Structure 1
């Protein structure tokens, strides 16, 4: 692990460092190849020859992520990132061995109580080979996951227990025998265009058990039997769709929807999972365009502002210009949110919090949310000198 982590731990308050040493959990990761990129939460390192794991980890929910690497003789290229959420208890030792065949961590050794006790008895001998938890990212990590419980994280991550940057796909129709493939019609004529070429490719599907288990957002935003006028109404105010999602996925704990929003964001930000970004966008659009729900679910929306405040703080302003603004997703979505949340009849506390958040986002991204809603082009605003919106 990088030497910077060792320097950071020395900057800790002695009492905090001692408490982390005594109460913190330990990840013992044996056999991880040198050069592997491995990280915990918002920090990653390149594994060195002495690496055996991470110590002094604050109890709670964490995201362990890693990329396998080829040998230097094969170019030393990084593989796709894999990761998993795990919850660590005080003084817990979680043991894993690197499986060179699957290029993955195997945690089955943690079920061997005798082996774990042996590690615990020799923990002081192992200590020089353990890197300290990057305490400087703890506050950031907590702010990005404070609504995400252990149970929710386990329910959202794939049944395989691994979150992968690239989907594991297989053909929809598997031809297990040569004869099956021979019986398929052949078309040896050249493709006339890309669309034709794509249509000739075998249809693929994601391997069962590897899918992220996000809430399904209905494509129809209106109830069965709705009149044309009601269809228009339900398409402008997505409260019906939001309530459907909450009823089917988070009936007992509606605020878990914010935890799902955080899960999707972390999968994208830390795990490099583009599907997480797409689901984050869909959830955000659903929440921001549900005017009636803002009146009924004040706590959900007060929480949403806090979640977004920390998430947008982790993204450079140019990110949305480069990736999203072809459809101006963030500007138009937040514009709708601010229009509804600061409108007549809205709860006073929510309205004030929304106005303050609007000022913050305006300053950070230099976007004007008060322009005509039909104008989808982000407008740069010049703040008068000396004016602060903090």
Structure 2
């Protein structure tokens, strides 16, 4: 069976792809066969293909169209408002990271972009509901399952893969694009997932299996410091993932959910154990059952009691 080849080109005036004419199509085909384009191409690093696939397998065209800024360029030059608005909630570690990212980008930035940043989904840190009792409100904040369901339905059209795509997009934009805005979004999404106690076991087991796999590969890649034949800086330094970081505290609570003997899906349990071992082996973290929430824990659920309102 003959393979059909369709050649498309970019129409600058209409700003869209259009099908090339038959003559153009034949010239492109012959040019490919004659390797005429090869001299203008850079080598593709196949050794990191599997890593990249694990970091981006949920990033589809739909995910990019939802999140990319106008023009497609992600730059810290348009993130001043984001940094300022988040400064009150940043830890000393994150303030240090802020300075590091600004210093690294100031040397290469030219001019000030007037475009806004990425169109990330707003993730509330605290659930607020009118007309519910204080007990119900406390429950909604201790278990983010209902918030997860609401966001999936309202913001992602029920698509779990779109949500996972945003987790991957924000991580890549932070790690490789040096975007502090992306870090805060990744942190918010991870906090949402790890703040759920019912969803992993009852309503969204498959979603959590995929999420744990996603964050496992993200941190496995980010924690690599030395690569054979390459000279690279650590992608994630120790201060970013210190023992008092938000991730350490959330993981302690999340891992403790698997210690009560409840029936757990095999794949979810397997990937959770792998994730836990990664943190223990690479960062030296120790996960002991948490007996109580520390009073000064910034990442503990914050509950605002709202009286019944009509």
TM over 0.5: yes
Determine helix, strand or coil for the equivalent of 2:77. Answer: coil
Determine helix, strand or coil for the equivalent of 2:282. Answer: helix
Could you tell me which residue of structure 2 aligns to residue 152 of structure 1? Answer: 63
Q: Tell me, in whole angstroms, the C-alpha distance in 2 between the residues paired with 1:91 and 1:343.
A: 57
Could you tell me which residue of structure 1 aligns to residue 74 of structure 2? Answer: 163
CA-CA distance at 1:346 after TM superposition: 4.4
1:57-72 mapped onto 2 (5 Å cutoff): none
CA-CA distance at 1:110 after TM superposition: 6.2
Q: Does 1:224 align with 2:135?
A: no
Q: Does 1:366 align with 2:304?
A: no
Q: Tell me, in whole angstroms, the C-alpha distance in 2 between the residues paired with 1:273 and 1:253.
A: 26
Deviating above 6 A after TM superposition, structure 1's stretches of 4 or more consecutive aligned residues are 90-97
After superposition, the Cα gap between the structure-2 partners of 1:340 and 1:365, relative to the gap in structure 1 and judged at 3 Å, is: same
CA-CA distance at 1:332 after TM superposition: 0.7
Q: Does 1:241 align with 2:159?
A: no
Contiguous gaps of at least 5 residues in structure 2? 82-112, 225-233, 298-310
Q: Tell me, in whole angstroms, the C-alpha distance in 2 between the residues paired with 1:355 and 1:339.
A: 12
Contact 1:268–1:275 (CA<8 Å) still a contact in 2?
Answer: yes
Q: Under a length normalisation based on structure 2, what TM-score does the superposition of the two structures give? A: 0.66
> What do residues 319-350 of structure 1 show as CA deviations (whole Å, max 9, x unaligned)?
36313538511211211221124444342412
Q: Does 1:300 align with 2:217?
A: no
Q: Tell me, in whole angstroms, the C-alpha distance in 2 between the residues paired with 1:165 and 1:92.
A: 36
Larger radius of gyration between Structure 1 and Structure 2: 1
1:122-141 mapped onto 2 (5 Å cutoff): 122-123=31-32, 124-141=35-52
User: What is the total number of aligned residue pairs between the two structures?
Assistant: 246
Contact 2:220–2:278 (CA<8 Å) still a contact in 1?
Answer: no
Q: Tell me, in whole angstroms, the C-alpha distance in 2 between the residues paired with 1:119 and 1:109.
A: 19
What is the aligned counterpart of 1:339 among 229, 253, 256?
256
Which structure would you say has the larger RCO, counting Cα contacts within 8 Å and 6 or more residues apart?
A: 2
> What do residues 169-196 of structure 1 show as CA deviations (whole Å, max 9, x unaligned)?
79xxxxxxxxxxxxxxxxxxxxxxxxxx
CA-CA distance at 1:141 after TM superposition: 1.0
Structure in which a larger fraction of residues adopt helix: 2
Q: Does 1:314 align with 2:225?
A: no
Contact 1:217–1:241 (CA<8 Å) still a contact in 2?
Answer: no
Contiguous gaps of at least 5 residues in structure 1? 1-22, 24-89, 98-105, 171-205, 378-390
Determine helix, strand or coil for the equivalent of 2:42. Answer: strand
Determine helix, strand or coil for the equivalent of 1:272. Answer: coil
Structure in which a larger fraction of residues adopt strand: 1
1:154-233 mapped onto 2 (5 Å cutoff): 154-167=65-78, 207=114, 210-233=116-139
> What do residues 54-73 of structure 1 show as CA deviations (whole Å, max 9, x unaligned)?
xxxxxxxxxxxxxxxxxxxx
CA-CA distance at 1:166 after TM superposition: 2.5
After superposition, the Cα gap between the structure-2 partners of 1:130 and 1:321, relative to the gap in structure 1 and judged at 3 Å, is: closer
Could you tell me which residue of structure 1 aligns to residue 97 of structure 2? Answer: none
> What do residues 328-387 of structure 1 show as CA deviations (whole Å, max 9, x unaligned)?
11211211221124444342412343234322321121100115465799xxxxxxxxxx
After superposition, the Cα gap between the structure-2 partners of 1:329 and 1:92, relative to the gap in structure 1 and judged at 3 Å, is: farther
Q: Does 1:278 align with 2:184?
A: yes
> What do residues 266-316 of structure 1 show as CA deviations (whole Å, max 9, x unaligned)?
111222212111111110011001101112110011111110111011223
Q: Does 1:357 align with 2:263?
A: no
Q: Tell me, in whole angstroms, the C-alpha distance in 1 between the residues paired with 2:287 and 2:14.
A: 49
